Amino acid sequence: MMDRPLKSRETIAWGFAGLGCFLGVWTLLTVSGLVPRQFLPTPLDVVARIIELLTTPFAGATLPQHLASSFGRYIVGVSLAALVGIPTGLLMGWFRLLDDILAPIFEALRFIAPIAWVPFAALWFGTGIGGPVMIIFAGAFPPCLINAYRGARFVDPRLIEASRMLGTSHLRTIVEILLPASVPSIVAGLRVAAGLGWQSLVGAELIVAATGVGFMMVQAQANVSTPTVMAGMIAIGAAGMLIDVLLRQGEALILRRRGLGP
């Protein structure tokens, strides 16, 4: 009854069996006519549609162009979140008064889903680049702030005492002690922020944008083009995974440089 760990050959075999079942049931549902092909295209239909979208425009642009405009917004939004969130977090970790003032505000804002900012984002910054960027910011900001804050709070007190004793100024203490010491925590926060930002981007594009993969999917939904919707989902998933892999590599590299990683 107790399960032993599987051999790698068995793991692969079971994995393929699982994937085969998934894709097989999906294909069968459509081919048997149980579900109309218009609503559930076969996996092959979706792959064909992705290849087609690489060159044929849909909703005003090809899939790579939509992805490019999504990425543009995404990078601006996440960078802004990091540029504002990390320094604020470090300052909150250093100055107790600032912490006591800002913490309750962020604590209260936490319960408003980032996506609920959409109407104000559209009203304040329009639907071009500003509105979606604000939503991405709203999604990516909290982890940047929280992790910089935690990193700064858990710095080895001896380091801080030494710097205080030597009469280092506040600014230099933050930049030269708190910041470097919190890098592992900050990098971990950035990875979470990147994921949440990507999620918010999709939401923002579904509602307020006029380009981007999310917009393409909404248009496809309005035109009842299920293969295009699924192509968009796969593109979003793949791009999100790529971002995560890259950031994991970066994180491992930074940790290794500091002698913390394996």
Partner 1 sequence: MTRWRQTGIGLATFALLVGLWFALTAWSGIISAGRFPSPTDFWSAFVQINTRGYAGGQLAAHAFHSVVLVVMGFAVAVATGVPLGLWMGWSRRAEAAINPVFLLIRPIPPLAWIPLAILWLGLGDAAKIMVIWFAAFVPSVINTFSGVRSIERPLLEAAIMLGTPRWRFVAEVLAPAAAPMIFTGLRLSLQAAWTTLVAAELVGALLGLGFILNVAQQDIYPAMILVGMLSVGVLGFATTWLLGAVERRALVWNVAGSER
What's the CA dihedral at 28, 33, 35, 38 to 10 degrees? 110
Residues in 58-97 that interact with partner 1 by CB under 8 A:
97
Out of 112, 162, 175, 260, the residue judged to bind partner 1 by CB under 8 A: 112
Residue 85 or 240 with smaller CB distance to partner 1: 240
202 Cβ partners below 8 Å, 6+ apart?
Answer: 213, 214, 236
Residue 160 or 233 with smaller CB distance to partner 1: 233
CA pair distance 196, 138, nearest whole angstrom: 9
**Residue among 134, 153, 119, 126 at smallest CA distance from 84:** 134
Tokens of residue 121, six digits: 């984002």
Please identify, among the stretches 84-92, 115-123, 149-157, 164-172, the one whose residues bind partner 1 according to the rule CB under 8 A. 115-123
Residue 5 or 33 with smaller CB distance to partner 1: 5
CA pair distance 202, 22, nearest whole angstrom: 26
Q: Is 1 in the site for partner 1 (CB under 8 A)?
A: yes
Cβ 47 to partner 1, closest distance in Å? 13
Calculate ∠ Cα 136-82-106, nearest 5°: 75
Please identify, among the stretches 7-15, 150-158, 159-167, 182-190, the one whose residues bind partner 1 according to the rule CB under 8 A. 7-15
Q: Is 138 in the site for partner 1 (CB under 8 A)?
A: no
Q: Is 10 in the site for partner 1 (CB under 8 A)?
A: yes
Out of 50, 187, 193, 229, the residue judged to bind partner 1 by CB under 8 A: 229
CA distances from residue 225 to 58, 107, 161, 236 in whole angstroms, order as listed: 11, 42, 64, 17
Please identify, among the stretches 19-27, 156-164, 172-180, 246-254, the one whose residues bind partner 1 according to the rule CB under 8 A. 19-27
Out of 46, 63, 92, 122, the residue judged to bind partner 1 by CB under 8 A: 122
Cβ 257 to partner 1, closest distance in Å? 28
Residue 103 or 162 with smaller CB distance to partner 1: 103
Residues that bind partner 1 (CB under 8 A): 1-6, 10-11, 13-19, 21-22, 39, 97, 100-105, 108-109, 111-120, 122-124, 198-199, 202-203, 206-207, 214, 217-218, 220-221, 224, 226, 229-230, 232-234, 236-238, 240-241, 244
